[in-house]
Amino acid sequence: MAALCSSDLIIHAGDVGKPGVLEELRAVAPVIAVRGNIDKGPLARKLPERDVLELEGCRILILHDLADVELDPREAGFQAVIFGHSHRPLIETRDGVLHFNPGSAGPRRFRLPVTVGRLTIAGGGMTARIIELGTLQQKPASLPKRLSRAAACAAGGVQNAAARASREAR
């Protein structure tokens, strides 16, 4: 949970699973979430397929499956694309655009690491990093079980003071 505690905003790149996950994440920070392929029923109807976030002059496309990008992100003015689906952590720059998959903080999948991502935006630039969480058994004993589950389901966090100002302006 420490990986999310200092976040000003949490971005969930899909495969939320249960509505309670988003509620628990909102107890930590505001959440932007998109629909993933495992999201069904009422939850899926509430989540958009994609979202666009603008912070400190950085335009970010958020979607679940990178294969669903139907435009050239650079030509469309995006500085970053955040996605999930494969659950494989990735930080890569393609044609000047950051492509960032924070991995999966939920139950271990396919021998992949359990991770979240941190995107720091400052001075019009972005820095991305992957934070490996290890096993859920390593959580502090004092951490409430519900918050532990929320951390396990978070796809990534964004740390940015501008996010707070943007929320207050709404």
Is pLDDT of 142 > 60? no
Tokens 């397929």 locate to 49
Q: 149 is in which domain, residue-wise? A: 2-169
Is pLDDT of 165 > 60? no
Residue 50's alpha-carbon distances to 23, 64, 106, in angstroms, are 20, 7, 21
Report residue 82 as tokens.
């955040």
Is pLDDT of 166 > 70? no
Output the pLDDT for position 104.
82
CATH number of the domain to which 110 belongs: 3.60.21.10
Output the pLDDT for position 139.
39
> Model pTM?
0.76
Which of 28-32, 100-104, 152-156 has the highest mean predicted lDDT (pLDDT)? 28-32
**What domain count does the chain have?**
1
State residue 76 phi and psi, 5-degree precision: -85, 0
- pLDDT digits over 31-45, tens only? 999 999 999 999 999
Is pLDDT of 53 > 90? yes
Residue 14's alpha-carbon distances to 74, 114, 137, 169, in angstroms, are 23, 15, 24, 26
Q: Residue 170 — pLDDT band, cuts 50, 70, 90?
A: very low
- pLDDT digits over 86-132, tens only? 778 889 999 999 999 998 876 566 677 788 899 999 988 899 998 88
- Residue 91 and residue 117: Cα distance in Å, rounded? 9
